[in-house]
A and B are shown apart, each in its own frame.
Chain A
Amino acid sequence: MAGAKERVLRRRIASVNSTKKITRAMELIAATRVVKAMQRANEAKPYATQITSVIENLSAGGAAVSHPLLREPEVVNRVGIIAIAGDRGLAGPYNAGVIRAAERQLNAARTEGAEYALILCGKKTNDYFTFQGYDIDSTYTGMSDSPTYENAREVAGEVMRMFTDGEIDRVELVYTEFVSMGTQKVTVRRFLPLESSDTVAAEGGGDASALAAFEFEPSAGGVLESLLPRYVEARLFGAMLEAAASEHANRQRAMKAATDNAEELKVKLSREMNRVRQEAITTEIMEIVSGAEALGA
């Protein structure tokens, strides 16, 4: 007969085993998704590179404009913070890292004496900042797994509107940069105002041709004017794609660790259970033997 202790252990092993199956499945799913997300991030790069190169050419061609997105405010009254993280948990430190960095930005803005505006992508960031009682300007959910350009345009449009309307004077972007499969880094970037087109050009990344004798239609300023919003959208889109790839990579790693732990726990519990069962058997034998001896005596 199985003793009470043995039964408890048996049940725990079964539960650890089914948890292991789940985490293993999640690990495999994340592994395929991270590949897809990486591929999307790479496919999106040419557009950003080309846009940058057009800006480089424009700036080389002497386009100097005062675009609202280039407005460098003298006093920063309100700082916008875009935080890009996930809708779901079980991704190790992924969400917490972004949340912590965003909160640090928020506190930095406060010490400067400025207000803050939170623009959150992902349910987890929303949950945290709501729970902490911060004011949230807007939240976008349901796009963290595989963001589309439409999503980026929606968020970027709202942020640019706030910026050009003067509701916010500076925007910081907090997201997780996908450095490689093994390394993802929480990154804070100045999102708006854009550095002047010269600085964008100097930052490089585009493959501008050295010849500067471009013709423009309608005009250099006109091109730049319709180009800058696209540039902002493309930058946000790139960040979203990297964040998605990072989320899946983090989840894969977290779930691998969980699976390994479950395996280890299972071995430990099995050993414990076998010991308990053997003890029970030994006790039973002892009882029978001593009972028989008592009868024989």
Chain B
Amino acid sequence: MLQVEVVSPEAITYSGEATMVVARTVGGGDIAFQAGHVPFIGVLEVWSAKVIGNDGNDEFAVHSGFIQMANDKVTILSDVSEAKDEIDVERARAAMSRAEAAIAADDSDVEAISALKRASARLAVATGESGSGH
């Protein structure tokens, strides 16, 4: 079993056990951790992080951060992370279309690009489209 902790600057937001953790790192694509994985440190993409346990799964939208794996302990350090049931789908949709409109008007708008990333990460988590993770 893996020990999993999601830590924000303000507090530990999640802590539990899992059989597998799936996340997406910058430049490395999706990566899955199971017990016995080699020690690993990665920078996380704005995307989902999935915690797959024996008794159900948890999924988070992680807005950049780090993941550390050592001694069967996975730590996700993230400024902002939202659990699946915290995500407001309507708001994310609205933000997505706003961001798309802004990018259509000016495709070098960095703010809009990262807003789009955040919104699509949220939607992927909320609607379960971030891949099955298996």
A residues contacting B by CB (< 8 A) are: 40, 43-44, 46-47, 50-51, 53-54, 57-58, 61, 148-149, 152-153, 209, 211, 213-218, 222-223, 226-227, 230, 233-234, 237
Contact = CB atoms under 8 A, between A and B. Distances in A.
A233 B39 contact: no
B39 A223 contact: no
Contact of B8 (A47, A216, A226, A227): A47
A47 B31 contact: no
A58 B7 contact: no
A277 B84 CA distance: 74
A111 B116 CA distance: 51
26 contacts: A47-B8, A47-B77, A50-B7, A50-B68, A54-B66, A57-B41, A57-B70, A58-B41, A61-B41, A152-B9, A211-B39, A211-B70, A213-B38, A214-B39, A215-B41, A217-B28, A217-B31, A217-B41, A218-B25, A218-B27, A218-B28, A223-B42, A227-B66, A233-B9, A234-B9, A237-B9
Interface of B: 5, 7-12, 25-28, 31, 38-43, 66, 68, 70-71, 75, 77, 79
Nearest to B28: A217
A241 to B, nearest CB: 9
A89 B27 CA distance: 50
Given A47-B8, A54-B66, A218-B25, 13 more contacts: A40-B10, A44-B10, A46-B5, A46-B12, A57-B68, A57-B70, A61-B41, A148-B10, A149-B8, A209-B39, A209-B70, A217-B25, A223-B43
A6 to B, nearest CB: 57
Nearest to B27: A218
A83 B102 CA distance: 39
B89 to A, nearest CB: 24
Chain A interface mostly helix, strand, loop or mixed?
Answer: helix
Nearest to B8: A47
A214 B12 CA distance: 24
Contacts of B5: 46
A191 B23 CA distance: 33
Contact of A47 (B9, B28, B40, B43): B9
Top 9 nearest A-B pairs by Cβ distance? A43-B11, A217-B42, A218-B27, A217-B28, A149-B9, A214-B39, A209-B70, A217-B25, A215-B40
Nearest to B70: A209
Contacts of A211: 39, 70-71
Contacts of A46: 5, 7, 11-12
Contacts of A223: 41-43, 66
Contacts of B68: 50, 53-54, 57
Contacts of B25: 217-218
Nearest to A238: B9
B38 A218 contact: no
Given A43-B10, A234-B9, A57 B26 contact: no
